[in-house]
Every structure is written in C-alpha cells, then in structure tokens.
Amino acid sequence: MKPILLLENRLIDTRVEQPSASLHDRASQFGDGVYEVIRLYQGTFHLLEPHLARLYRSMEELEIRPAFTKAELIHWLYELVTQNECKEDAIVYLQISRGAQIRNHVYADNLTPIVYAYVAEKERPVTLMQNGIHACIEQDIRWLRCDIKSLNLLPNVLARTNAERKNCQEALLVRGNTVTEGSQSNFFLVKQGTLYTHPANHLILNGIVRQYVCSLASGLGIPVREEMFSIKDVLLAEEAFFTGTTFEILPMTHLDGAAINGGVVGSVTTALQKAFQDSIAVSTMQ
C-alpha cells in the first residue's frame, strides 16, 4: 500500500503521522457504509465517473448524506494518486461510512460520514485472463439489496473462502435455480454467439465492468441479453466468464470440475478481452 491515505477530509502521510479512527465508527460495528474499488492503469483512473455515480446511488439508497461535494471527492482522489506518485497498475479503495455514533441500531440523522481511501498496487491478472479460472457453485445467501455496494460482505467472504479451499479462483453464486453472479464479480455466458447475464436488479451488483463489457459487446456486434439462467445453462454454454474491476474479463473454464467449452477459452471472450485491452491502451495514452 502507498504511504499516503485519505481520511476524513485530508491526506495523511503515514510515514510522519499515525492515522486515528473512531472506535464508534458504524462501519466497524454494523458494516454501515458503502465502498468502491476503482482501477488505475499506469496511474490513470479507469471508469472513475461510473464508479462515483454508483457510490452516490449506494449512499442515497442508505440515506448516507456526505458532508462533501462530488467535486471535492474527485479532487481528493486525484491528490491521493498524485501525492503517492502512483504510475503503476493499481486500485483505489474508497470507503464511506455513515459516521461515528455510540452503538445503536437506529442511526442518528446528523452523523458526519467518514471517508477513507488508499492506493494499492495491483497487477492485471494476465495469466488467469489467458488460461481461465476454475469456479465452484456456492449458495447465494446475501440480502435482497445486492445492488447496493455496502460494506456488509460476509456472505461474499464465506463463499470466496470456500472457493479458495476448493482450489477455485471464484465462487459462482446460485439463488434457487438462478445463477446470480460471482462472490466478487459479475457473470456472463455465451450461447449461440449471444451474451447472457443476470438482469441488473436487486439480486446482483451492477458492475462497472459488466456495463462496460456490454457496451464493448455492442461495439463488436455481439448481442447481449439480460436474462436469468440456471446452472444447467452454464454447463451447456459455449463460453463463460466473470467480470470485475480487478478481474477484468476472466474466462471460467471449469465449474465444480466440469469443463466448459472443453476447458478452452472461447473466441467471444477473447474478442471482448482484446477490445478491453485496446480501450485501456487508448485511455492511458491520453
């Protein structure tokens, strides 16, 4: 992690000052807050605007009212990257908690939200993008507002840890008969050349890369359908992949040990990866 953090409304150089946080922050007691993970390619923000739009939507849904303007937040984020002299592939973790209050389920409506952000180097998952990953099925036991990017991630954490223990790189979540998304990613399958992904409703997080991949697909003339599908559909799919800010486009070659498309990364996935790669190259040149 880089040494300079954003806490509340100022940057703190941790080499000269220890950041101090309230023990009564509702983020630690209730997971009462929201967050974003934003990509930087060679020190340049990628898709910052849609991340901030989703952050503001998450806050609005939870009645978290920031004491700062969006322009101030953007200024702090750019300062964070500049002062850390970040020139690599990295992520910014940005968290906004409802604020500090002596523990009480009922939140006071005059709390000052606490902003916290840092930059960490993060390489692109190049090998996994080329070779694909193994996933396992886990039950989707999350609440019914998965569209909000809240700090409450215990079901995701449990699913992802189970996957790791099974030597898988992602868990594919299933609610009833329906495949929703990954524990930390969205999910797509390809059937007869068409992309299918779960509709952007309360059962999934509408990923920024999910939306971006849909627009790349349109540009490539690949039809996209936001429809529900089952595990059986996945097993019969021509191709399948996960998307996310740190995942980018990760092909799923095996599900619970069963090969998808003979365990080979398919041509639609590769075409989307290439379009994604090209768009990064353009944005980092500007």
Ligand X SMILES: Cc1ncc(COP(=O)(O)O)c(C=O)c1O
Which residues sit at the interface with ligand X, rule CB under 6 A?
37, 156, 181, 184-186, 205, 207-210, 243-245
Q: Which is nearer to ligand X, 2 or 210 (CB)?
A: 210
Distance CA 178, CA 97 (A): 32
> Burial level of 219, CB count in 10 A (0-12/13-18/19+)?
exposed
Catalytic residue among 149, 191, 232, 274: 149
**Residue 101 or 185 having the CB closest to ligand X:** 185
- CA 232 from chain centre, in angstroms, equals 26
Closest to ligand X by CB, 39 vs 99, is: 39
Residue 168 neighbours by CB distance under 10 Å: 22
Residue in the shown chain whose Cβ atom is closest to ligand X: 207
User: Least distance in Å: CB of 187 to ligand X?
Assistant: 9
Q: What is the DSSP letter of 134?
A: E
Contacts of 78 (CB under 8 A, 6+ apart): 45
CB of 240 to ligand X, least distance (A): 15
Q: Using N-to-C axis directions, what is the helix angle for 208-219 and 48-61, rounded to 10°?
A: 130
Closer to ligand X by CB, 4 or 159: give it.
159
Degrees (nearest 5) of the Cα angle 261, 266, 271? 165
Q: Is 232 tagged catalytic?
A: no
* Least distance CB 234 / ligand X (angstroms): 17
Helix (H) or strand (E) holding 119: strand 114-121
Given a contact cutoff of 8 angstroms between Cβ atoms, the answer to whether 187 and 138 are in contact is: no
Least distance to ligand X, CB of residue 112, Å: 26
Q: What is the dihedral of CA 220, 223, 226, 228, to 10 degrees?
A: -120
Task: CB nearer to ligand X: give 95 or 245.
Answer: 245
C-beta of 34: minimal distance to ligand X in Å? 12
Residues carrying an active site annotation: 149
